[in-house]
Amino acid sequence: MQCFSKRMMAAVTTRRTFSSSLFASHKQNAKKQLQGTGTVPQKAGLANPQQVYLDWNARKTSVYNNFWLRDHCHCPQCYHPVTRQRLVDTFSIPRDIQPVALDSTEDALDVTWPDGHQSRYRWDWLHTHSYSPILRTDEPLQTKRPVLWDVNLNIPALQHEEVMETTQGLKAWLDQLETYGISFIEGVPKTVEATEALARRLCFLRETHYSQGIWSFTADLAHADTAYTQLALGAHTDNTYFTEPAGLQMFHKLEFEGQGGDSLFVDGFHVAKELKRLHPTAYRTLANTRVPTHSAGDEHVLIVPTPRAHPILNHDDTSGELYQIRYNNDDRSTLDHLSTAQLDEFYDALFLWHKLLTSAKNEVWDTLNPGRVVTFDNWRVLHGRSAFTGHRRICGAYFPWDDYKSRARTLKMTPQDKDRLL
């Protein structure tokens, strides 16, 4: 940390010295709560003319730029308390703004600016958003960490009535989806209407060129896609040809008289982890090679994503974490943008990926009898089916990713969580 000048020292009045004793008079509960999260600093002040520092403890210090602090003021004049949108005029803040006073309260840092404006920054907010250094260990808005699975996936099926009638049932559904990327619900009436009501209990549906909301199909080629045949479908994710593939999907096999037609599910995050462990070069290739895709069977349909091609393994630019599998080998367009060497590398990596993806120890097969509905994360879990004979009617839905996630977050978060996390 740089020393700040004597002149700065004089200009700033730090009205209280920070120490753990400052908090001694708090209600025992509040104290425990704040200290339990490790978000109460022991000391704060000016680090230098540009920055404020907070010593969280003897070894952990955060610094915040003065301009950043003023620009992130969450007082009602600067941040609408209801809409949670910024009102502050960033461009009228002097780039070299400096606080004229810093004051500590039991749960926040109060800053006075040269024009008399007062800002209050809660300790827990400052800790969550510490950027120098970054102190958070998780994506702050993530509500559940994924638990990876293989053939031994063992999660309890939820009951239709519980999911439809109780908030607890709905939360359990969202929890399973966020944790395992898949969830089964039993006791669902075997109709399109009941399936649609169940789907809409989760969040609103995504329309596509296949349907407006809920869809149901048999092997009659009503749409020009292999799904509408009796052929087997290898493990894939849907909508690789959309700029944003559906976040979730639901399937309900309403009618079946015949042989085969079982459903296949594979945890793509688990397979990717295995690939990274066993074949790191192949993993990098699938993370870096962009694969073009299309949907062009139906007349008047020619869908390709923007950008034109995406990797199979997609990573968050900020965290570096894998967030989306985008893989349907049947929907791949002609590979004409790779060099000979890149093509070799890509095909080699694809073979290794395919081998793990089709390994029996990674596959979960389910007969998905009528009444048993599956919902799954189409950015994580790959699905497929075995070939079949006879009559089979499947109904289902696509859900938009953002709205499903928003629903999951808002069901679990309080307004105070929003204050802290945004």
Residue with tokens 């009205």, as numbered in its chain: 15
Interface size with ligand OGA, residues (CB under 6 A): 7
Q: Which of 74, 65, 184 is nearest to 119 (CA)?
A: 74
Which regions of 49-152 does DSSP assign to beta strands (E)?
A: 51-57, 60-65, 101-104, 108-112, 118-122
For residue 78, the partner it binds in Zn ion, ligand OGA, none, with Cβ less than 5 to 8 A by kind, is: Zn ion
Tokens of 55: 């010593």
Binder among 127, 270, 383, 420 for ligand OGA (CB under 6 A)? 383
331 belongs to the binding site for Zn ion (CB under 5 A) = no
Report the distance separating Cα 116 and Cα 6, nearest Å.
23
* Residue selected from 34, 46, 47, 73 as contacting Zn ion according to rule CB under 5 A: 73
Q: Is 11 in the site for ligand OGA (CB under 6 A)?
A: no
Candidates 97, 147, 122, 113; CA nearest to 39 is: 122
Please give the backbone phi and psi of residue 51, each rounded to the nearest 5 degrees, phi first.
-135, 150
Contact string 193-232 vs ligand OGA (x = CB under 6 A): ----------------------------------x-----
β-partners of residue 111 are 102, 119
Find the shortest distance in angstroms from Cβ 400 to ligand OGA: 17
326 lies in the site for ligand OGA, by CB under 6 A: no
From residue 222 to residue 241, the character string flagging contacts with Zn ion as x (rule: CB under 5 A) and all else as - is: ----------------x---
Q: Say which entry of ligand OGA, Zn ion, none residue 385 contacts (CB below 5 to 8 A, set by partner kind).
A: ligand OGA
The listed partner (ligand OGA, Zn ion, none) that binds 75, CB under 5 to 8 Å by sort, is: Zn ion
Q: Which two tokens stand for residue 386?
A: 């075995």
d(CA 166, CA 397): 22
β 381-385/233-236 pair status: antiparallel
Query: If we measure between CA atoms, which residue out of 417, 93, 386 comes closest to residue 259?
Result: 386
Q: Which two tokens stand for residue 30?
A: 């509040």
Q: By CB under 6 A, what part of segment 235-274 binds ligand OGA?
A: 238, 263
Residue 372 near ligand OGA by CB under 6 A: no
- 385 touches ligand OGA (CB under 6 A): yes
Instruction: Give me the least distance between CB of 156 and ligand OGA, in Å please.
Output: 23
CB count in 10 Å sphere of residue 267: 28
Q: Which residue lies nearer to ligand OGA by CB, 99 or 384?
A: 384
Residue numbers at the binding site for ligand OGA (CB under 6 A): 227, 233, 238, 263, 383, 385, 394
Give contact residues for Zn ion (rule: CB under 5 A). Answer: 73, 75, 78, 238
